[in-house]
Amino acid sequence: MFSKKRILAVFSATGLALSLLSAPALASTPEGPVTNLGACKSRNKVDYDAKGVEYKCSIAGGGLKWKKTGGKKGAGASTSGGSTIDTKQFANVSGAIAIDGSSTVAPLTGVAAEAFQKISQTKITVGISGTGGGQTRFCKGELDMANASAAYSETQRKACADAGITFTELRLATDALSVVVNPKNTWAKCLTIAELKKIWEPGSKVNYWNQVRADFPRVKMPLFGAGTDSGTFEYFTEQVNGRPAKRSRVDYTPTEDDNVTVNGVKRSTGAMGYYGFSYYKENTDINKAIAIDGGKGCAEPSLENVLNGSYTPLARPLFIYVNNAKAKSNKAIIPFLEFYAADLKNLSEKAKFLPLTADQTKKLEADLAALKKLSN
């Protein structure tokens, strides 16, 4: 019934169809040369322009494009990263570290984990089940560390205490929770917290922009926001709608995947949404962040405004929680955290997070030293 001939016929037909279909794809993908560069056809191909500057063929947007690596011809492969710390001290560190929690913090911890695994023999998993999901697992003792985009609440701390788990809270970075609108939105440049509350408070009836401020046009306002299990949702609702946290209007599009917000805001002129700063940095061409007036004047989310304290109250601390008992038994944890803290500036830059101030860095170093002492 299934003779070889028949199978061959089916597969050659499949192959033929595929090759026919792929013809337009092949014709359209390669990007033109930048300057004296060959065709950028295969990933990670390296070429040099007339001046000997190195370019690498990288994935960018929907296709391959030449990207400057900063290297020079003859200088050998360009080294990635700008880490300034001595990496040899970690070469003999081994063990497994389980991390889970906030999807906002995961890129930062992920970059750290990736870099650390290259210089040591550790195996680190970084999950993204949300601040709440990570806290549940952390307080069951399943995790060595938990990422959190909002400090644990009293009830969450009690859940850990009830399970006999003591932990250390380390503040790693700062996020500027960004409120974004469509680039075609020319009227909303700065909103006060009171106006945001009017839009987002439970039972809000604001559906058009002119209901926020009378001089705004009557444009429909579709809303996008964070899912209820995320630290982003918790922080935003607490700062905008007041305590207790997690109260919000419900007729908006909630999502754990910030891309939904990015694309939703991109598609509709009147749309509004909010998410972490690193997402905004990736999408400045299709989403526009608006300035927030939290009592200290209008301030846009930016490194400068977060460091000088004018982006308030939506600048939020990001944490990692460390299980004290595990830090003692698992010999990989302290070295990893030492690396993480020492290289934090470089890592934050890579993951597009806002770095800590000098005072905050001192606090992190002190907290880490205390944890190290505890686990010896």
Residues that bind another protein (CB under 8 A): 2-4, 7, 11, 17-18, 21-22, 24-26, 29-30, 41-44, 56, 58-64, 80, 96, 98, 100, 106-107, 110-111, 113-114, 117, 123-129, 140, 142, 257-259, 262, 278-279, 282-283, 350-351
Q: Hey, what amino acid is at 1?
A: M
**Residue 116 is encoded by which pair of tokens?**
């650390």
Please say which residue, 26 or 250, places its beta carbon nearer to another protein. 26
Nearer to another protein, 56 or 247 (CB): 56
- To another protein, the closest distance from the beta carbon of 27 in angstroms equals 11
Measured from the CB atom, the residue of 27 and 358 that comes closer to another protein is: 27
Beta carbons of 56 and 48 less than 8 angstroms apart = no
Q: Which is nearer to another protein, 259 or 308 (CB)?
A: 259
Spatial separation of the C-alpha atoms in residues 32 and 351, rounded to whole Å: 29
Query: Closer to another protein at the Cβ: 135 or 278?
Result: 278
Nearer of residues 56 and 296 to another protein, judged by Cβ = 56
Q: Residue 199 CB, nearest distance to another protein (Å)?
A: 24
In the complex, the smallest distance separating the C-beta of residue 14 from another protein, rounded to whole angstroms, is 8
CA dihedral 139, 141, 147, 150 (to 10 degrees): 10
DSSP 69-112: EEEETTS-SPPP----S--GGGTT-EEEEEEEE-TTTHHHHHHH
Least distance from another protein to the Cβ atom of residue 282, Å? 4
From residue 297, how far is each of 188, 191, 199, 293, 357 by CA, in Å? 15, 10, 20, 5, 21
Q: Measure the CA–CA gap between 148 and 106, rounded to whole angstroms.
A: 9
CB of 361 to another protein, least distance (A): 22
Q: What is the nearest approach in angstroms of another protein to the Cβ of residue 86?
A: 22
In sequence order, the 6+-apart residues with CB closer than 8 A to the CB of 127 are 98, 99, 100, 101, 106, 134
Question: Least CB distance from residue 69 to another protein, whole Å?
Answer: 9
Alpha-carbon Rg of the chain, whole angstroms?
Answer: 25
Q: Which amino acid is at 178?
A: S
Tell me whether strands 291-293 and 298-299 are parallel, antiparallel or unpaired: antiparallel
Taking the complex as a whole, the smallest distance from the CB of residue 24 to another protein amounts, in Å, to 7
List the beta bridge partners of residue 299. 292
**Residue 128 vs 240, nearer CB to another protein:** 128
CA distance linking residue 300 with residue 6, whole number of Å: 65
Find where tokens 């290289």 sit: 343
Contact 200, 240 (CB under 8 A): yes
**C-beta closer to another protein: residue 60 or 161:** 60
> In this complex, which beta carbon is closest to another protein, that of residue 65 or of residue 363?
65
Indicate the burial class of 23 (C-beta count within 10 angstroms; 0-12, 13-18, 19 or more).
exposed
Q: How far apart are CA 194 and CA 241, in angstroms?
A: 9
